[in-house]
Amino acid sequence: MSRVTLTQFLIEQQRNENHIPADLRLLIEVVARAVKTISVHVGKGAVAGVLGSAETENVQGEVQKKLDVIANELLLHANEWGGHLAAMASEELEGPSLIPNRYPKGEYLLVFDPLDGSSNIDVNISVGTIFSVLRCPEGVVDPTAEAFLQPGRTQVAAGYAVYGPSTMLVLTVGTGTHGFTLDREFGAWVLTQPDMQIPPDTREFSINASRARLWEAPVARYISELQAGTEGPRGQDFNMRWVASMVADVHRIMTRGGIFLYPLDERNRKNGGHLRLLYEANPMSFLVEQAGGVASTGRERVLDLQPTGLHQRVPVILGSRNEVERVVAYHREAL
């Protein structure tokens, strides 16, 4: 059986399609290698003693899990010596991590959430890694946070890994969204879902419904219409799924459609939302748009937001085109 590996896919993107330069290809390969190592640690779980709290707090005041720390270190170390990066930023670090002077520097910035969905680690449910690649602004040598504050539409690559029953890497370099599955025996990423397409219609929604009392009117209206099922204005039943691991919830949508909402609500309004723009909302929105879906805050396209901080939070509504557009229309009518 002839199998297309990630390496082959990226070389073809570079050689035949001329979509990506060689240094971006190599950078993605390094990220993919680090992700493979994270997958091994996640997979060992309690056997390797990697579950539980690290008893430290990250910049957002969240208690770090051991695997948060391990995944962060793995990504930093794997990427710092490659020569393709000017700096990195992570959910787990307050400011940018510069490339040590002993290594060559490149023209890209890498931003990541090393282990997304951390509340699931200890209960053996899927978690993931999310990353985004930006170009370092011209003339910037030692990038500060400001260099990273670019709208999501300028991303040159984005992806996520989901550590589930199998480990998958879902990637875009702006030429569609493509899914690779890790063949653990060979240690290779195999292209298993080329050109993923999110169907425009869906009967599945994903939201933390325990926050219903806090929602704004347009979201409350939309969800209550879905919950009303065949007897309601939509005239059909909808199903609900919430893993509480964005990577897993988005991966389901990427695979079979759906709508994912982490909207603005009364409690998270003071922070601007719940999910982080640079390393959650932007990369996921790029991937979703490249798969034919839509990603909005309810008020505007996520990829058009001008970031104001490295750890800025935003509302996120993404997935099947017709459903996301309906929620956006409800916002327009109400606000």
Helix locations, 188-290, DSSP H: 217-227, 246-256, 282-290
62 is in an annotated binding site: no
Q: Which two tokens stand for residue 114?
A: 């090393």
Q: Residue 113, annotated ligand binder? A: yes
The two tokens of residue 271 are 């922070």
Nearest-angstrom CA–CA distance, 19 and 159: 16
90 annotated as ligand-binding: no
The answer to whether 132 is annotated as binding is no
Separation of alpha carbons 34 and 276, rounded Å:
22
Sign of CA dihedral 200, 179, 113, 129: positive
Is 190 in contact with 4 (CB distance < 8 Å)?
A: yes
How near is the Cβ of 140 to ligand FDP at its closest, in Å?
28
Provide the minimum distance between the beta carbon of 262 and ligand FDP in the complex, in angstroms, as a whole number. 6
Closest approach, Cβ 68 to ligand FDP, in A, equals 8
Is 68 annotated as belonging to a binding site?
no
Annotated binding residue at 118?
yes
Please compute, for residue 25, the number of CA atoms within 13 A of its CA located in the half-sphere on the CB side. Answer: 16
User: Is 265 an interacting residue with respect to ligand FDP (CB under 6 A)?
Assistant: no
Residue nearer to ligand FDP on the CB measure, 217 or 244: 244
Nearer to ligand FDP, 33 or 211 (CB): 211
How many other CB atoms sit within 10 Å of the CB of residue 47?
Answer: 8
Site string for ligand FDP, 175-214 (x = CB under 6 A): ---------------------------------x------
Q: In whole angstroms, how close is the CB of 52 to ligand FDP at the nearest point? A: 15
Query: Around Cβ 263, how many Cβ atoms within 10 Å?
Result: 25
- Determine whether the annotation assigns residue 289 to a binding site: no
Place of tokens 């290698």: 33
Q: What is the dihedral of CA 76, 79, 83, 87, to 10 degrees?
A: -40
Residue 149 Cα distances to 89, 109, 178, 299, 308, angstroms: 11, 11, 26, 20, 6
Pairing of strands 294-296, 316-319: antiparallel
Is 120 labeled as ligand-binding? Answer: no
Which of 208/227 has CB closer to ligand FDP?
208
Using CB under 6 A as the criterion, what x/- string covers residues 90-119 for binding ligand FDP? --------------------------xxxx
Contact 332, 325 (CB under 8 A): no
Output 106 or 117, the one with its CB closest to ligand FDP. Answer: 117
Q: Are 332 and 210 in contact (CB under 8 A)?
A: no
Q: What is the DSSP letter of 137?
A: P
94 is in an annotated binding site: no
Binding string to ligand FDP for residues 214 to 253, with x set by CB under 6 A, is what? Answer: ------------------------------xxx--x----
128 or 257, CB closer to ligand FDP?
128
Binding residues for Mg(2+): 91, 113, 115-116, 280
Binding residues: 91, 113, 115-119, 208, 280
Residues in touch with ligand FDP (CB under 6 A): 116-119, 208, 244-246, 249, 275, 280
